[in-house]
Amino acid sequence: MAVKIRLKRMGKIRAPFYRVVVMDSRTKRDGRAIEEIGKYHPTEEPSVIEIDMERANYWIGQGAQPTEAVAALLKVINDGTLKTKEQGPSKKERYEAALAAAGKGSDDAPAPRKKAAKKAEAAAAEDAAEAKVTAEAEAERTETSETSEKSES
């Protein structure tokens, strides 16, 4: 059986991404693979190339032939010329920058909506009522314990 390491196309029209797979050379391009050993996203900037080199070397040792495209990807990884994406600012930082650009400060929180305000008031009222009941129960316990101590003495 002639085995090849090749790309399996996936994704939508005009938005391709590929999986690096080990397949029998007679199967269809997007057919069943023996093993998936990596992925390649050419549309991202810079391109994302993730290949399990241990498994790729294993299959090459077993006689699998990489296609031209996969051979080029393996060469990029082995040479160490693979570019990585720089980490940009976080979502929160971008949001705060947009607010500053719009002329608003980050401390200006938007006013709560009516339903949210009603829920907040109801929750605060419940908490206050619960605290009051707890305080009354505690006071009653201390009174009963004081009277029982006096009667025992």
For residue 63 the two structure tokens come to: 């006689």
Domain assignment present for 100 = no
Structural domain includes residue 46 = yes
Q: Please report whether residue 135 resides in a domain.
A: yes
**Domain span at 52:** 3-79
pLDDT for 150 equals 66
| CA 71 and chain centroid, separation | 31
Whether residue 9 is found in the same domain as residue 70 = yes
- For residue 127, tell me if it sits in a domain: yes
In the predicted model, what is the mean pLDDT of residues 122-137? 84
Instruction: Please provide residue 74's backbone torsions phi and psi, each rounded to the nearest 5 degrees.
Output: -65, -40
For 66-108, the pLDDT digits (tens) are 999 999 999 999 887 777 667 678 888 889 889 888 886 545 5
> What does pLDDT average to over the chain?
84
The arithmetic mean of pLDDT across residues 47-61, rounded, is 92
With a CB cutoff of 8 Å and minimum separation 6, the contacts of 24 are 1, 2, 3, 4, 34
Residue 107, token pair as written in the block = 């401390």
Whether residues 69 and 121 fall in one domain: no
Q: What's the number of domains the chain is made of?
A: 2
Residue 22, domain member (yes or no): yes
**Structure confidence by residue, pLDDT tens digits, 30-43:** 889 999 999 999 99
For residue 99, being part of any structural domain is answered with no
56-77: pLDDT as tens digits: 999 999 999 999 999 999 999 9
Q: Do both 73 and 116 map to the same domain?
A: no
| Nearest-angstrom CA–CA distance, 111 and 119 | 14
32 inside domain: yes
121 and 67 belong to one structural domain:
no
> Domain for residue 34, yes or no?
yes
Give residue 93's pLDDT: 87
- Residue pair 5/19 in contact (Cβ under 8 Å)? The answer is no
Per-residue confidence band for 144, with pLDDT thresholds at 50, 70 and 90: confident
- Left if phi > 0, otherwise alpha if psi is -120 to 50, otherwise beta: which for 45? beta
For the whole prediction, is pTM greater than 0.95?
no
User: Domain boundary at 79, 94, 125, which?
Assistant: 79
Note the pLDDT of residue 151. 66
The sign of the torsion formed by the CA atoms of 55, 61, 63, 67 equals positive
